[in-house]
Amino acid sequence: MNIDILLGMQWGDEGKGKVVDVLTPAYDVVARFQGGPNAGHSLEFNGKRHVLHIIPSGIFHEDKANIIGNGVVIDPAVFEDEILELEKMGLAPANNLFISRRAHLILPTHKLLDAAQESRKGEGKIGSTLKGIGPAYTDKTARAGLRVCDLETPDFEERLNERMEEHKAVLDSYGFEYGDVLPNMVEKWLKSLGNLRKFKFIDAEYELSNYLKEGKTVLAEGAQGTLLDLEFGAYPFVTSSNTVAAGAFSGLGLAPCLTGRVFGIVKAYCTRVGSGPFPTELFDETGDYLRKTGNEYGATTGRPRRCGWLDLVALKYAVMINGVTDIALTKADVLSGMPEIKVCTAYKVNGTMTDRIPADNKAVVEPVYTSLRGWQEDISKCREYDELPQTFKDYIRFVETETGARVSIVSVSPDRNATIFRKD
C-alpha cells in the first residue's frame, strides 16, 4: 500500500486537524511527521472543539493507530496536558497512540532559549510560538539532542543535566534571567516523564513498513504549512522543520516511492501568525472582517492572525513543491456575503511582474489581483457539491485552473459533518 500525505499549503492553520479527523475512518494509521507543540490542530464534533498539539488528529477514532514519528519534537509536559484532556473525555490514548524512539525531546531550557533568542532579535524576531521548537531542532542537527529512546537508558538524568547546564551557560551569556522559573519548569517536566513512559515506544519506521506490507493504509499528518518550511518558506521567518511532503518520508522513515495521494489543505483566504512576508495581507476593514468572521486567533498562542486574500502565486508554489493531487478547501463559508473576492495571480517584485516567489525575503512584493464575484448564500449547511452556489463553484474552478490540482474536498464549517466530498 501507499502512504497518503496531508499538508498545509499556506502559513499553517488551514484546517488540517479537521480534515485529518474527517479522513481518519478511511485509514488504519495516522502519523505525525514533524513539528511539535507549536502546532494547534482543532477539530469539532458533538458541539465540542478539541485542540491537539503533539498528538495526531486521528486520536478520537479509538480503533485507529496514531503514531508520533521521529521527525516530531516532544515536550513531555505539553504532552501530559494533552493526554489529561483526552482522558477527561473518557478516552484511553495509551491503547492507540505510539511514539517513535527516535523522536527528539524538547527540554525546559529549550523553551527559555527560544524566549531569549526571540527577545534578542528585537524588531527582527520571528514571532515563534515560544515552545522551544527552534532550539530543540538546533540541538538535533548539532547532534546534541536527547531522544525518546534515551529515556530507557540509565544515564538519562546525567545527560539531561549536562544538556541543561550547557543551555544555562548560553542563557547566562545572553544575560537572560530565569530565576525561579526554570526550577519550576524542570520539576513539572521531570514529573511529566512518568506520563510519557506509560506509552509504548516503537521503532516506527519498522512498524509503518510492516503495516504497509500487510495492506494497511497510512495517512501522514503535517503540521504548520509549506510557506513556513525551513527550506521553502521566507527564511528566516519559518519554522525549524520540513513541513513539505518530502518531510513525511524523513520524518517517518518511509521511502518516497510509496507516495499515494497528497492532500493540500487550503484556506479560502490567507492567514499568518508571527512575523515575515505576507504579500496579500490586508490592513483595512476587510482584514478585520476576515479575522472576526473566521475567528482567526491562534489555537496554540491565542494571538490574532494576520489576514489577507488568497495568494495563488504562493499556492501554485506549494502545489508544485508537494506534488498535491487533491486540494481540501476550507473556510470559504467565511467569505459568504462579500460582493467581490480578490485573488492574487501574480507579483510585482521590485517593479517586475512575475509568477514566482522571490528567495530574498527583503524583496518588495506587490500583489496583482484578479477580482471574482462573491457568493451571498450561507454555504455552511451545504452537504453536497451540487448545493453550492454557482459563483462559489466558479471560484473553485478558478483555483483548479490556476493550480492544476483538483478541489476534491470542501469544508464549510468547523464541524466534522460539515464536509463535502466531491463525487464528479
Question: Active-site residues: which are they?
Answer: 13, 41
Q: Which is nearer to ligand GDP, 219 or 299 (CB)?
A: 299
Report the SS3 class of residue 338: coil
Out of ligand GDP, Mg ion, ligand IMO, none, which partner does residue 131 contact, by CB within 5 to 8 A per kind? ligand IMO
Compose the 265-304 pattern: x for residues touching Mg ion by CB under 5 A, - for all others. ----------------------------------x-----
Q: Determine the interface stretch with ligand GDP among 10-18, 172-180, 194-202, 367-375 (rule: CB under 6 A).
A: 10-18
Q: Which is nearer to ligand GDP, 168 or 292 (CB)?
A: 292
Contact (CB, 8 A) for 360 and 325: no
The contacts found for 189-198 with CB under 8 angstroms, 24 or more apart, are 189/75, 189/76, 189/77, 189/107, 189/108, 192/76, 192/77, 192/79, 192/80, 193/76, 193/151, 195/76, 195/79, 195/80, 195/83, 196/74, 196/76, 196/79, 196/80, 196/99, 196/148, 196/151, 197/151, 198/94
Out of ligand GDP, Mg ion, ligand IMO, none, which partner does residue 408 contact, by CB within 5 to 8 A per kind? none
Residue 337 corresponds to which cell in the numbers above? 456575503
Q: Which is nearer to ligand IMO, 304 or 389 (CB)?
A: 304
In 197-300, alpha helices (H): 204-213, 245-252, 285-293
Least Cβ distance, residue 10 to Mg ion (angstroms): 11
Q: Determine the interface stretch with ligand GDP among 30-38, 40-48, 277-285, 306-314 (rule: CB under 6 A).
A: 40-48
Kindly identify the residues of this chain, within the stretch 289-328, that bind ligand GDP according to CB under 6 A.
299
Least Cβ distance, residue 118 to ligand IMO (angstroms): 9
Compose the 188-207 pattern: x for residues touching ligand GDP by CB under 6 A, - for all others. --------------------
Helix (H), strand (E) counts: the chain? 11, 20
Residue 208 CB-half CA count within 13 A = 32
Residue corresponding to grid cell 523553551:
111
Give contact residues for ligand IMO (rule: CB under 6 A).
Answer: 8, 11-13, 35, 38-41, 126-129, 131, 133-134, 223-225, 228, 239-240, 273-274, 299
**What 8-state DSSP symbol labels residue 243?**
-
Q: Which is nearer to ligand GDP, 16 or 102 (CB)?
A: 16
Q: Which is nearer to ligand IMO, 148 or 273 (CB)?
A: 273
Interface with ligand GDP (CB under 6 A), residue from 36, 37, 40, 132: 40
Q: Which is nearer to ligand GDP, 6 or 196 (CB)?
A: 6
Closest CA to 74 of 174, 196, 184, 171: 196
3-state helix, strand, coil in the chain (%, to 5): 35, 25, 40
Compose the 26-45 pattern: x for residues touching Mg ion by CB under 5 A, - for all others. --------------x-----
Report the residue number whose CB is nearest to ligand IMO: 274
Q: Using alpha carbons only, how large is the chain's radius of gyration in Å?
A: 21
Q: Which is nearer to ligand GDP, 147 or 331 (CB)?
A: 331
Contact (CB, 8 A) for 328 and 264: yes
Backbone angles phi, psi at 422, to 5 degrees: -75, 130
Burial class (CB in 10 A: 0-12, 13-18, 19+), 128: buried
223 binds Mg ion (CB under 5 A): no
Kindly identify the residues of this chain, within the stretch 327-386, that bind ligand GDP according to CB under 6 A.
330-331, 333-334
Interface with Mg ion (CB under 5 A), residue from 13, 82, 114, 207: 13
Cα 70 versus chain centre, distance: 16
Question: Where are the strands (E) in 65-148, listed by range?
Answer: 65-68, 73-74, 97-100, 104-105
Cα 371 versus chain centre, distance: 29
14 binds ligand GDP (CB under 6 A): yes
Compose the 398-417 pattern: x for residues touching ligand GDP by CB under 6 A, - for all others. -------------xxxx---
Out of Mg ion, ligand IMO, ligand GDP, none, which partner does residue 414 contact, by CB within 5 to 8 A per kind? ligand GDP
Instruction: Establish whether the linkage from the previous residue to 367 is cis, with ω within 30° of 0.
Output: no
Binding site for ligand GDP (CB under 6 A): 8, 12-18, 40-42, 44, 299, 330-331, 333-334, 411-414
Binding site for Mg ion (CB under 5 A): 13, 40, 299
